[in-house]
A = this chain, B = another copy of it.
């Protein structure tokens, strides 16, 4: 592991990430990807450190990914299980976090159904002078930075497997389609992809993509005076025209009951990714999806299963390397 400078105690949102920071994450993840290709996939970087998963919103996939990342850094892991927790006994979320801090937690990975909880916990712990780092693993519709960073790493490694770098993204056309309005994945990807110079095209029915949605992103890239490139579309064909990458978002079933969407079948007809629709993209176009997927809704099954098109499995694999990188970088801050 090369020496790296890292200046963030917490990773809550990507809004203020600079291109240099993204590049540090990508290069650190790349070195862990090489570790993971060895038969013995462990490094002692966080030996004796405690990583606590505070998942107030249940998740198997993301929790497992963080758990494996922490194990491969030789950390000890505590899992907070909401079902059997003190929360039902009236304890506040901040008191739960403080309890795990007092036990000796060094890094806290937090998921909560409400936006702002990881930040509130990070602030409270900072107020107490705690050296712990907080990593947002998804909060409401706000942010999911580790997902966007693993997407970024996946794109970089696809563009150049030998020398992945954010510079490869410059000028690429990336389409994000689906329930943009309610998606923390879309928001975090907007910050990272635009900061790396990609042109991001959002597509959704108007109920899921109001015109004012893009306003917060019409700002300069952090640490630069370059504008971010974001474009909105109400239909799929013009968005897909010449696209380098297409990211389909997961459709929450409850959107239908909220009358924001017609039926799943109609959604698929208008916004589902099929082989035919991808014909107008670049020849090397690839598809991403944060998972879990509703086959036949967001993506047709044959696109999902075509290794020449789908990056879904690669995203999961990238997830472990990127989360190792984030825990490692936060650990170096902590130790400094």
Nearest B residue to A101 via CB reads B313
Whether the pair B317, A65 counts as a contact (CB closer than 8 A) is no
Is the pair A104, B317 in contact by a Cβ cutoff of 8 Å?
yes
A40 contacts which of B48, B60, B61 (Cβ < 8 Å)? B48
Within the complex, the shortest CB–CB distance from A121 to chain B, in Å, comes to 15
Q: How many copies does the complex hold?
A: 3
Specify the chain B residue showing the minimal Cβ separation from A88: B58
Shortest beta-carbon distance, A114 to chain B, in Å? Answer: 18
**How many Å lie between the Cα of A294 and that of B61 in the bound state?**
33
- Chain B residues with CB under 8 Å of A50's CB are 41, 68
Interface residues on A, range: 35 or more
Q: How far is the CB of A55 from chain B (nearest CB, A)?
A: 8
Q: Please name all residues of chain B whose beta carbon is closer than 8 Å to the beta carbon of A36 when the two chains form the complex.
A: 104
Residues 303-336 of A contacting B (Cβ, < 8 Å): 313-317, 319-320, 335
In the complex, A272 Cα to B272 Cα: how many Å? 59
Contacts of A71 in B (CB 8 A): 76
Q: Do A84 and B60 form a contact, CB below 8 Å, given A42-B48, A48-B42?
A: yes
Q: Nearest chain-B residue to A250 (Cβ)?
A: B89
A5 at the interface (CB under 8 A from B): no
Asked if B103 and A68 make an inter-chain contact with CB atoms under 8 angstroms apart, the answer reads: yes
* Residues in B neighbouring A68, C-beta threshold 8 A: 50, 76, 78, 103-104
Known A-B contacts A293-B91, A295-B92; A319 and B103 likewise in contact (beta carbons under 8 Å): yes
B320 touching A103, Cβ below 8 Å:
yes
Q: Given A72-B76, A76-B71, A84-B58: A99 and B291 within 8 A (CB)?
A: yes
Q: How far is the CB of A107 from chain B (nearest CB, A)?
A: 14
Return chain B residues, CB-CB under 8 Å to A253: 90
A38 to B50, CA, bound (A): 13
Q: Mark A129-160, 1 if CB is under 8 A from B, else 0.
A: 00000000000000000000000000000000
How far, in angstroms, from A41 to B38 measured CA to CA in the complex?
Answer: 26
Residues of A within 8 A of B (CB): 36, 38-42, 47-50, 58-61, 64-65, 67-68, 71-72, 76, 78, 80-81, 83-86, 89-92, 95-96, 98-104, 250, 253, 291-295, 313-317, 319-320, 335
For the complex of A and B, the 7 pairs showing the least CB-CB separation, nearest first, are: A91-B292, A40-B48, A102-B316, A58-B84, A86-B292, A102-B313, A60-B85
Besides the contacts A48-B72, A95-B292, A103-B317, what 9 more A-B pairs have beta carbons closer than 8 Å?
Answer: A36-B104, A40-B47, A41-B104, A64-B78, A86-B291, A95-B293, A102-B313, A102-B315, A104-B320
